[in-house]
């Protein structure tokens, strides 16, 4: 009888994401089962602390570290990025409160960098903060029912560079709170898209399965959220994750992201280093990246 173990085989990325989602959904009682679409050249993924399942950094294939829960997994080294925009202005928040949010969201995600608050908003879904450092993006729920900060993240971004006039850094969905732990009952489900834009972008729209919303644009970033009932479940299938479109002040389309985009595109900084897109391409075939400013 042959007792040898079968050879080890790599698990496809979509299977790893599905397994991780199932495990975390069981741990959290089904609440906040977030699925993030495999955006263009998706390669850097991270699990959200406690409740969120995964965040994808769509424009990157490499990065410094990816935080999976509280475990740091080394990946490839990311190239240096351009300078990020000047200090963001967040109306209605005192400097002390901004510092609390930045620290609380950073601690929740377990990041080593110093993320800066770029957007802070409250809608029918709840209170949300979007933060960036030179390499990390934090998508952070603030003042939730069970914890003050709950941050998902994408790491290893060359934050100072964009693949065009905008970048959709994370697109995902969260199931409603019904059917999970009692403390989450009544909480809405939602679809969400967040990212960065240049000064040429005057409008960003996010659409999914017949619904479309305008994003809030501030401090060179955008946030778009579509609310769903508390009993809503995330549909199966990555192909349902819709589109993001950016327009200038005259209404002309500047760029579009859709789930069926191919993953062969790449962008380089002035030094010829690939800072967005497929890292296995010849840099000479890549388009120039656009500085985030």
Q: Specify whether the backbone of 102 is left (phi greater than 0), alpha (psi in -120 to 50) or beta.
A: alpha
As a whole number of angstroms, the distance between CA 283 and CA 51 comes to 38
Q: What is the pLDDT of residue 184?
A: 83
Q: Closest by alpha carbon to 61, among 282, 257, 199, 263?
A: 263
Distance, C-alpha 232 to centroid of its chain: 21
Residues in a beta bridge with 86: none
Q: Closest by alpha carbon to 129, among 96, 97, 157?
A: 97
Helix (H, G, I), strand (E, B) or coil at 212: strand
Q: Where are the domains of the chain?
A: 13-265
Q: Backbone phi, then psi, for 109, in 5-degree steps?
A: -85, -20
As a whole number of angstroms, the distance between CA 92 and CA 243 comes to 31
Torsion of CA 254, 234, 45, 219, to 10 degrees: 40
Two tokens at 247? 């327009």
As a whole number of angstroms, the distance between CA 105 and CA 114 comes to 10
Helices (runs of H) and strands (runs of E) counted in the chain: 2, 22
As a whole number of angstroms, the distance between CA 281 and CA 264 comes to 7
End-to-end CA distance of the chain: 66
Q: Are strands 243-247 and 253-258 parallel, antiparallel or unpaired?
A: antiparallel
Residues in Cβ contact with 280 at an 8 Å cutoff, skipping those fewer than 6 apart: 61
As a whole number of angstroms, the distance between CA 245 and CA 203 comes to 8
Ordered per-residue pLDDT tens for the chain, 293 residues: 544 444 444 444 444 444 444 444 333 343 444 444 433 322 222 223 223 333 344 444 333 333 322 222 233 334 444 444 578 999 999 999 999 999 999 999 999 899 999 999 999 999 999 999 999 999 999 987 778 999 998 888 899 999 999 999 999 888 998 877 888 888 999 999 999 999 999 999 999 888 999 999 999 999 999 999 999 988 877 566 689 999 999 999 999 987 655 577 899 999 999 998 888 899 999 999 999 97
User: What are the CA-CA distances from residue 240 to residues 70, 125, 209, 243, 293 (Å)?
Assistant: 30, 21, 7, 9, 31
Q: What is the pLDDT of residue 21?
A: 41
Are 63 and 156 spatial neighbours (Cβ–Cβ below 8 Å)?
yes
Q: What is the pLDDT of residue 49?
A: 29
Q: What is the pLDDT of residue 104?
A: 96
Residues in a beta bridge with 116: 132
User: What are the CA-CA distances from residue 132 to residues 38, 94, 113, 196 (Å)?
Assistant: 20, 19, 9, 10
Q: What is the pLDDT of residue 259?
A: 61
């Amino acid at each position: 009888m042959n007792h040898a173990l079968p050879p080890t085989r790599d698990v496809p990325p979509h299977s790893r994401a599905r397994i991780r989602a199932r495990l975390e959904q069981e741990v959290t009682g089904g609440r906040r089962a977030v699925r993030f679409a495999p955006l263009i050249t998706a390669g850097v993924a991270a699990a959200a602390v406690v409740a969120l399942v995964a965040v994808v950094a769509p424009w990157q294939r490499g990065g410094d570290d990816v935080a999976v829960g509280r475990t740091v997994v080394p990946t490839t080294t990311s190239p240096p990025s351009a300078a990020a925009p000047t200090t963001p202005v967040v109306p209605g928040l005192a400097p002390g409160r901004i510092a609390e949010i930045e620290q609380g969201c950073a601690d929740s995600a377990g990041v080593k960098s110093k993320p800066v608050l770029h957007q802070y908003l409250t809608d029918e879904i709840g209170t949300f903060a979007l933060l960036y450092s030179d390499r990390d993006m934090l998508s952070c729920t603030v003042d939730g029912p069970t914890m003050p900060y709950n941050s998902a993240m994408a790491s290893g971004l060359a934050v100072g560079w964009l693949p065009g006039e905008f970048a959709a850094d994370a697109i995902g969905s969260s199931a409603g709170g019904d059917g999970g732990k009692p403390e989450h009952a009544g909480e809405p489900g939602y679809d969400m898209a967040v990212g960065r834009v240049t000064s040429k972008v005057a409008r960003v729209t996010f659409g999914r399965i017949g619904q479309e919303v305008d994003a809030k644009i501030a401090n060179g970033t955008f946030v778009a959220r579509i609310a769903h009932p508390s009993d809503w479940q995330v549909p199966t299938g990555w192909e349902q994750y819709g589109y993001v479109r950016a327009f200038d002040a005259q209404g002309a389309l500047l760029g579009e992201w859709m789930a069926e985009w191919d993953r062969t595109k790449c962008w380089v900084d002035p030094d010829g280093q690939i800072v967005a897109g497929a890292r296995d391409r010849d840099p000479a075939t890549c388009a120039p990246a656009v500085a985030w400013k």
